[in-house]
Amino acid sequence: MKLVATRNKGAKDILPADIHKWRTVEQVAADIAECYGFKEIRIPTFEKTELFVRSVGETTDVVQKEMFTVTGTESSFTLRPEGTAGVIRALLQNGLMNEAAPQKLFYFVNCFRHENVQKGRLWEFHQFGAEMAGSHSPAADAEVICFAGDILKGLGLQNISLHINSIGCPKCREEYYKVLREFLSPNREKLCGTCQSRFEKNPMRILDCKSDICKGIAEGAPLITDYLCDECREHFKRLCGILDEMGVEYVIDPKIVRGLDYYTKTVFEFISDDIGAQGTICGGGRYDGLIEEIGGAPTPALGFAMGLERVIMAMESQGVEFMPEPGCDIYIASMGENAQGQAMKLIRELREAGHRAQGDVMGRELRGQLKYADKIGAAYSAVIGDSELESGKVTLKNMKSGEKTELPLLPLADFVDKFTDISMADMFDED
């Protein structure tokens, strides 16, 4: 087979055999969102480039080298690399902040980042995300973190650890950078190339470096947690207190340094060891400066995003159960033209009654039709031929047990009722 063009690099087809996995995640996430009072929002796939530059941050990798940007005669636009910026933009543009605070939104989005592909990292990937705007209370942080955690738990995932940290506000960060640079400067020359440049721009990210040398140098480095301003420290302390009271397990991990510029104060990640090097399944935090940055009134806010491909990978590797794949309740085989018409009528009535019913559209002989019924996993089958039309009776066969039940065929509507009465109960008992 030679296709004119094949799927693009970094993109994935989600095949029928996997759809139930996505549905599982979508349903669980949306259900839990409803419990938390978050409302769904759907926004365009692309935004003005400027929006991401301002929100995600000019110096971030995401903006500098990973965006899919289309430049035309009009202003340039970009396929969203994340969901927060667009959701906040929509929230402001539509005046949602004029409604009762806080605003709580959730969304499913596909996102685009042009990076080297590897396990758990694609050019186009999917996120479930949530944003809460209007509260600066640590209770909001606790609620958002719990929300994310509950989804992972609701999906049946195990061994997901919650790491939290506070990276302070611009005020305390200034002081901390000074101290951190002092600590690192004796070994500054020995740092790896990227960390050299981080030294000036964002020394905090050196703590996150994977290089053994940098790890060694960074050992015993002062932690942002110890240099928070009073307000930030109080905020973080209160958050931990609430999480403790709620019985949420977490580790304070001073090395969490989120790579998007808009984060302030609380940051957190849910990490799994089951899905390769890209173990962060969910990441988020507070971004108190973002709304003002993109033109809204100063408003505290926070949120998180969950990588759906990664969530599903973790579920697969842990053998978590998904919702069942859609099946077939009954297959109606037919013989001859008369019977075919009646069979199709019957199938339609069964469908109208809410059953998953199928029949032959291939012109197969009886044997072939039943083979097909078996392949698609039909729970029941029935054959309609001239003799059934004459006798007004039809035999319903349980495909798993082989058990047969004779039922009156006419009128067809009655058959549908009968079918409902007799078979639905045990049909759903089976696995």
Partner RNA sequence: GUGGGUAUAGCGUAGUUGGUUAACGCGUCAGUUUGUGGCACUGAAGAUCAUCGGUUCGAAUCCGAUUAUCCACCCCA
Binding site for RNA (CB under 7 A): 1-2, 6-10, 60-62, 82, 113, 115-122, 125, 127, 194, 205, 208-211, 257-260, 269, 276-283, 305-307, 309-310, 335, 362, 364-368, 370-375, 381, 383, 385-388, 395, 397, 399-400, 402
Q: Residue 124's beta-bridge partner residues?
A: 112
One-letter identity of residue 43: I
Q: Among residues 118 and 185, whose Cβ is nearest to RNA?
A: 118
Q: Among residues 137 and 280, whose Cβ is nearest to RNA?
A: 280
Cβ 171 to RNA shortest distance, Å: 21
Q: Among residues 276 and 296, whose Cβ is nearest to RNA?
A: 276
Cβ 399 to RNA shortest distance, Å: 4
Count of Cβ atoms closer than 10 Å to residue 361 Cβ: 8
State the SS3 of 290-357.
HHHHCCCCCCCEEEEEEEHHHHHHHHHHCCCCCCCCCCEEEEEEECCHHHHHHHHHHHHHHHHCCCCE
Cβ 418 to RNA shortest distance, Å: 16
- Backbone φ and ψ for 396, nearest 5 degrees, come out as -95, 125
Cβ 179 to RNA shortest distance, Å: 21
For 12-29, give one letter per residue: b (16+ CB within 10 A) or e. eeeeeeeeebbebbeebb
Cβ 410 to RNA shortest distance, Å: 15
How far is residue 294 from each of residues 79, 91, 115, 430, measured CA to CA in Å? 18, 12, 26, 55
Copy the structure tokens of residue 1.
């087979």
Q: Among residues 47 and 82, whose Cβ is nearest to RNA?
A: 82
Cβ 14 to RNA shortest distance, Å: 13
Copy the structure tokens of residue 270.
């849910």
Q: Among residues 179 and 257, whose Cβ is nearest to RNA?
A: 257
Q: Among residues 228 and 281, whose Cβ is nearest to RNA?
A: 281
Determine the 3-state secondary structure of 69 from DSSP.
Answer: strand
Cβ 371 to RNA shortest distance, Å: 4
Residue 133 to residue 135: CA distance in whole angstroms: 6
Q: Among residues 140 and 305, whose Cβ is nearest to RNA?
A: 305
